[in-house]
Amino acid sequence: MAVENLQRKDKVMELNTPADAPLERHMRFTVPAADVEMHYKESLRQKAKHARLPGFRPGKVPMPVVERQFGRDALLEAFDELINEHYADALRSHELRPVARPEVNVEQGAPGQDLIFTAVVEVYPEFTPQVPSASLTRKVVEISDADVERTLTVMRQQRQDYVTVERAAQTGDRVLLDFQGKIDGEPFAGGTMDDYPVLIGAGRLLPEMENALIGMSMGEGKEVAVPFPEDYQVAELAGKTAEFLVRVKDVAEPRLPDLDADFARSLGIDDGDVATLQAEVRANLEREAERLSRQQVKTVLMEEMLVVNPIELPKALLQQEEERQKQGREGELNEAQHNEVERRVRLGLVLSELARQQQLRASTAKMEQALVEMAEQYEDPREFMAWYRKDRERMENLESMVLEDVVVDWLLERATVKEDKVGFQDLIGARAAAGSES
């Protein structure tokens, strides 16, 4: 245990660092009785100015009476002032950065005695963040015409309609049907439905019922035996077999909207120019590719930062992050979640210390740009931005997010980054694979 004594102006402070808790600082203060008396008398004088007691005018209460009435409160106030003063002075003198409020214990404190108290506080680790030396690979994508057409097809599918057809139903069709179900010859709750739409292949019905619809045409009916699973959510039906009389009333197939001026206008292209729509889709894909590419490089870079910066973690920060992770959950965190808590705390400390030592800042311009980009996803960007700015916590989170990007930029400027040209689908596949691993 490291011990350091600080003696100045008749004040004594011992600073200890336990060997088994390298981030804890144990401080023991001795404040001379004369200093305690001076603060005590000053506290009494302040109380005398405002004391209101029967038989005395305000401010004219004799000091002995004030002391009898308010002496204990005045002494406690003197203790508080001295504890705060000496603790703050110790932090400045030893350049300590506390993680949370100290745990204070008064060992001795009474009129005419020295005030002796201890303060135990956890501090941030002192270290110089190391920068990874390993080279990084960044995926570079050139958006092709096929990428644009594929995206437009998806957009058309999201706006597809269904058109009645004169043929047997097949997978992908929407079927409108009536059905009546019975178990042991008796109807049961929820077993009868009229004008019920079913998208074949979507899995909304039990497999036996859905498969029976394939090949049926408008106006056709049939009986279908449908066994309910043993673990069916409706306990009364679990494990039983129902007989359904099914009648198809309509068969409709999906039809994509044409890639024309009307479709372009439905997506906000005022003049309906399809070429303009294609150009906007290409620009959006390029932005998405840049975002995904940067995110993948950042993920690798952050893992490298964790490897080269094995630091001690403050228990208080781990507890805070654990409580944050528990919000909305039931029970304790599992091992994987505990590991993620440790990872988040460690990475946050390393990045914040790097920003502090390199004097990196989240500029107002960068924060405004980030907020604008977030707001673009909403129908009324101005309203969103006004709402966001009203909350201090939201703005602090935004600042942290922007500062992290500033730190990442600083690291990338000093890293060896190789480029690997890939297709957009390959980039998306890499993202999906990374997500499944995490």
Contact 350, 132 (CB under 8 A): no
Residue 61, token pair as written in the block: 């209460």
Q: Helix, strand, or coil here: 391?
A: coil
Q: How confident is the model at residue 134 (pLDDT cuts 50, 70, 90)?
A: confident
Tell me how far apart the alpha carbons of residues 285 and 297 are, in angstroms, rounded to a whole number: 18
Structural Rg of the chain based on CA atoms: 36
Contact 269, 380 (CB under 8 A): no
Contact 409, 418 (CB under 8 A): no
Tell me how far apart the alpha carbons of residues 304 and 131 are, in angstroms, rounded to a whole number: 8
Tell me how far apart the alpha carbons of residues 176 and 289 are, in angstroms, rounded to a whole number: 41
Which residues, at least 6 apart from 339, have a Cβ–Cβ distance to it below 8 Å? none
Give pLDDT tens digits for 57-95: 666 667 777 677 778 888 999 999 999 999 999 999 999
∠287-288-289 over CA atoms, to 5°?
A: 90
Give pLDDT tens digits for 257-304: 999 999 999 999 999 999 999 999 999 999 999 999 999 999 999 999
Tell me what the mean pLDDT of segment 307-320 comes to.
Answer: 95
Q: How confident is the model at residue 3 (pLDDT cuts 50, 70, 90)?
A: very low
Which residues, at least 6 apart from 189, have a Cβ–Cβ distance to it below 8 Å? 236
For the ranges 73-82, 137-146, 342-351, 427-436, the lowest mean pLDDT is seen at 427-436
Residue 179, token pair as written in the block: 């059905």
50: pLDDT strictly greater than 80: no
Tell me how far apart the alpha carbons of residues 354 and 409 are, in angstroms, rounded to a whole number: 12
Q: Helix, strand, or coil here: 28?
A: strand
Q: What are phi and psi of 17, to 5 degrees?
A: -125, 105
Q: Which CATH number fits domain 161-255: 3.40.50.300, 3.10.50.40, 3.40.50.150, 3.30.310.160?
A: 3.10.50.40
Q: How confident is the model at residue 328 (pLDDT cuts 50, 70, 90)?
A: confident
Nearest to 320 by CA among 351, 344, 296: 344
Class of domain 2-122: alpha beta
Q: How far, CA to CA in Å, does 268 sit from each of 75, 155, 159? A: 72, 13, 14
Helix (H) or strand (E) holding 252: strand 241-255
Tell me how far apart the alpha carbons of residues 268 and 264 are, in angstroms, rounded to a whole number: 7
Tell me what the mean pLDDT of segment 296-318 comes to.
Answer: 95
Which residues, at least 6 apart from 354, have a Cβ–Cβ distance to it below 8 Å? 129, 360, 407, 410, 411
Tell me how far apart the alpha carbons of residues 385 and 285 are, in angstroms, rounded to a whole number: 25
8: pLDDT strictly greater than 60: no
Q: Helix, strand, or coil here: 195?
A: strand
Compare 58 and 352 and report the one with higher pLDDT.
Answer: 352
Determine the CATH number of domain 271-437.
Answer: 1.10.3120
Nearest to 197 by CA among 189, 205, 208: 205
Tell me how far apart the alpha carbons of residues 323 and 332 are, in angstroms, rounded to a whole number: 10
Tell me what pLDDT residue 163 has: 96
Which residues, at least 6 apart from 62, have a Cβ–Cβ distance to it below 8 Å? 56
Q: How confident is the model at residue 45 (pLDDT cuts 50, 70, 90)?
A: confident
Question: What share of the chain has pLDDT > 90, as a percent?
Answer: 81
pTM above 0.85, yes or no: no
The length of the chain is 438
Domain spans of the chain?
2-122, 161-255, 271-437
